[in-house]
Amino acid sequence: MLKDIPGGIYPTMITPYTTDNKIDYNAVEQLLAWYAERGVDGIFAICQSSEIFFLSFEERLDLLKFIMAHKPANTAIVASGHVADDLDRQIYEAKAFADTGIDAYVFISNRFASPDESDDVLIKNMERAADALPEVSLGVYECPHPYKRLLTPYVLQKMAQTGKYQFLKDTCCDLTQLKQKLDAVKGTDLKIFNANSATLLDSLKLGCAGFSGVMANFHPEIYAKLYKIYKDDPAKAEILQDFIGFFSVAECQCYPVNAKYYLSLEGLDINPDSRSRSKAELTPSRQAEIKQMRALTKLFEKKYL
């Protein structure tokens, strides 16, 4: 039986490194505990935030095995991890990741078809992937690298009809498109998780199942609170939305380096080293911005959480 994917808040998990550029498993374990303490419902592991395009297949698989061995109780784990262009290789890697016991394996939309290929090609490859993995729930992530492939309502209908796809990490950042996508999968098991902070509250009202985005590496507790109260306390929900929407500009700074720096301020033994960006981008001015964001987050939480 396929696992059901609960709604809620799913941080896109970062990968900490040691100063000699190896995965820092001590910091990974601390990060898992930090997420859990802040009330997240699940974790999106081995994704772009995890720097999968800069990790070997063996590193990606070993990291996921460690996450599954140390995952917090009552926390769903969905994971991606394939970076190949060849579909057979993608399926091979997906099977290895799925064998770790994750709740869902998440394919990357731009790996199903190249920029010049039609949605029909994407659908054919998507269905082939579903047939090859009969015993695991699946998802799709509209990853922006190496190019962004947004899924149309027509593609989502086909995806939902397989009965296998239960998770979409949506990156369109547009409420009109989100409404069309939600209408296309209404009544199916496919849940749409918004990656965009600024539109989160409105997207929840439209029917999105939750949030899966980079800003849950900074203050996931505020996202968790918003998700829990948006129906019953709309006035407070608007205040929380204003906060997360404004501070999501941190995405445009030097992520994931800045997220690692924020987490170090939280007391985690994480350094700002990254394979995807230079930590030199985290200038003293940018460090000051992150420190000030965290200080305001703590003041805000005292009043509203």
Q: What is the mean pLDDT of residues 1-17?
A: 95
Cα(296)–Cα(305) distance, rounded to whole angstroms? Answer: 13
The H-or-E segment that residue 31 falls in is helix 25-37
pTM over 0.95: yes
* Cα–Cα distance list, 45 to 53, 194, 214, 227, 278 (Å): 13, 16, 12, 20, 22
pLDDT in tens, 272-296: 999 999 999 999 999 999 999 999 9
User: What's the pLDDT score for residue 215?
Assistant: 98
Indicate whether 224 pLDDT > 90: yes
Please state whether the peptide bond connecting residue 256 to the residue before it is cis, i.e. omega within 30 degrees of 0.
yes
pLDDT in tens, 144-176: 999 999 999 999 999 999 999 999 999 999 999
User: What's the pLDDT score for residue 297?
Assistant: 98
> What residues are paired with 138 via a beta bridge?
105, 165
User: What's the pLDDT score for residue 110?
Assistant: 97
Positive or negative, the CA dihedral 222, 223, 224, 230 is: positive
pLDDT in tens, 49-69: 999 999 999 999 999 999 999
Indicate whether 96 pLDDT > 90: yes
- Residue 209 identity (one-letter amino acid): A
Q: What percent of the chain has pLDDT over 70?
A: 100
Alpha-helix runs per DSSP H in 70-195: 87-98, 109-112, 119-132, 153-161, 175-185
Q: DSSP state, 137?
A: E
User: What's the pLDDT score for residue 56?
Assistant: 98
In degrees to the nearest 10, what's the CA dihedral of 48, 51, 53, 58? Answer: -120
Q: Residue 22 phi/psi, 5° resolution?
A: -105, 160
Q: What is the mean pLDDT of residues 247-259?
A: 97
Terminal C-alpha separation, the chain: 38
Q: What is the mean pLDDT of residues 128-139?
A: 96
Closest CA to 230 of 179, 176, 194, 274: 194
* Cα–Cα distance list, 198 to 132, 203, 206, 240 (Å): 37, 10, 14, 11
pLDDT in tens, 169-215: 999 999 999 999 999 999 999 999 999 999 999 999 999 999 999 99
Q: What is the mean pLDDT of residues 292-302?
A: 98
Indicate whether 1 pLDDT > 90: no
Q: Do 240 and 225 form a contact (C-beta atoms < 8 A)?
A: yes
User: What's the pLDDT score for residue 181?
Assistant: 98
Residue 140: pLDDT band (50, 70, 90) is very high
